């Protein structure tokens, strides 16, 4: 087996995080809540690395993001809430449930059909009672709008939005609807456009 794919590094990193929690006063004092801002910051830095196309920077930022996952898992482990193995087991089970075309007997289909099947399994798991159930209100506005439009579409149709409306919010929503209909990510499109403005 390829040494890089053995998982040994992940086990060693878990021990590093346990030791840091035990021997570093700052890390010992952190909680899920106090670390929340760092998780958000590292997520945005990872997105920036993706936008630059710099593989070395992406590797570094993924490491910083992984640190946050392990940090939270070690805190939870100490309090008996759950372990990193529980986190992994949950996501493995989720991947098996939501990818029956890979792990079961369901047919594969096109990427769009696979995504539809994923969303159907997810909806059954979540048992949502509202279009916005499970959507964090702190999502960036363009992403939030795109998610709501997607859910409305799945529920039976998207209300018409007027690109010529007097209200700026309605015009922005119309642009998100246009991106959604085209299968484009409005957040990424706007980031790319802003990046193109910079020298």
The one-digit pLDDT tens for each residue of the chain (199 residues) are 455 567 899 999 999 999 999 999 999 999 999 999 999 999 999 999 999 999 999 999 999 999 999 999 999 999 999 999 999 999 999 999 889 889 988 777 888 888 888 877 877 787 777 778 888 878 888 888 998 888 888 778 777 888 888 899 999 999 999 998 898 999 889 988 998 898 8
If asked whether residues 97 and 158 sit together in one domain, one would say no
Residue 52 domain-assigned (yes or no): yes
Shared domain check, 75 and 92: no
Domain identity same for 32 and 51:
yes
- The answer to whether position 117 is within a domain reads yes
Do residues 75 and 116 both lie within one domain?
A: no
Same domain (yes/no): 96, 141 = no
- H and E: helices and strands count for the chain: 10, 0
Do residues 77 and 109 share a domain?
A: no
Residues 23 and 46 in one domain: yes
Concatenated DSSP letters for 79-94? TTS--HHHHHHHHHHH
Given a contact cutoff of 8 angstroms between Cβ atoms, the answer to whether 57 and 49 are in contact is yes
> What CA–CA distance (Å, rounded) separates 52 from 195?
9
177, with CB counted inside 10 A (0-12, 13-18, 19+), is buried
Domain limits at 163?
A: 134-194
Q: What is the CATH number of the domain that holds 37?
A: 1.10.287.1080
- Residues 13 and 72 reside in one and the same domain: yes
Same domain, 48 and 99: no
Separation between Cα atoms, residue 149 and residue 172, nearest integer Å: 13
In a domain, 2, yes or no: no
Q: Are residues 103 and 59 in the same domain?
A: no
Q: Model's pTM, two decimal places?
A: 0.77
Q: What distances in angstroms separate CA 126 from CA 61, 131, 133, one per listed residue?
A: 31, 12, 9
């Amino acid at each position: 087996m390829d040494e890089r794919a053995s998982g040994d590094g992940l086990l060693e990193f878990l021990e590093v995080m346990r030791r840091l929690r035990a021997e570093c006063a700052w890390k010992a004092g952190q909680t899920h809540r106090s670390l929340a801002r760092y998780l958000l910051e590292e997520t945005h830095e990872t997105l920036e690395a993706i936008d630059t196309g710099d593989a070395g920077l992406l590797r570094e930022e993924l490491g910083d993001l992984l640190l946050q996952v392990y940090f939270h898992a070690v805190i939870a482990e100490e309090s008996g809430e759950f372990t990193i193995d529980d986190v992994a087991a949950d996501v493995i089970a989720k991947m098996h449930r939501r990818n029956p075309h890979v792990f079961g007997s369901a047919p594969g289909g096109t990427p769009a059909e696979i995504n539809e099947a994923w969303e159907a399994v997810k909806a059954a798991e979540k048992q949502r009672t509202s279009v916005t159930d499970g959507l964090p209100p702190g999502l960036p506005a363009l992403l939030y709008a795109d998610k709501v439009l997607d859910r409305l579409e799945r529920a039976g149709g998207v209300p018409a939005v007027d690109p010529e409306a007097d209200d700026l919010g309605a015009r922005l929503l119309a642009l998100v609807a246009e991106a959604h209909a085209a299968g484009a990510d409005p957040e990424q499109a706007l980031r790319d456009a802003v990046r193109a403005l910079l020298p």
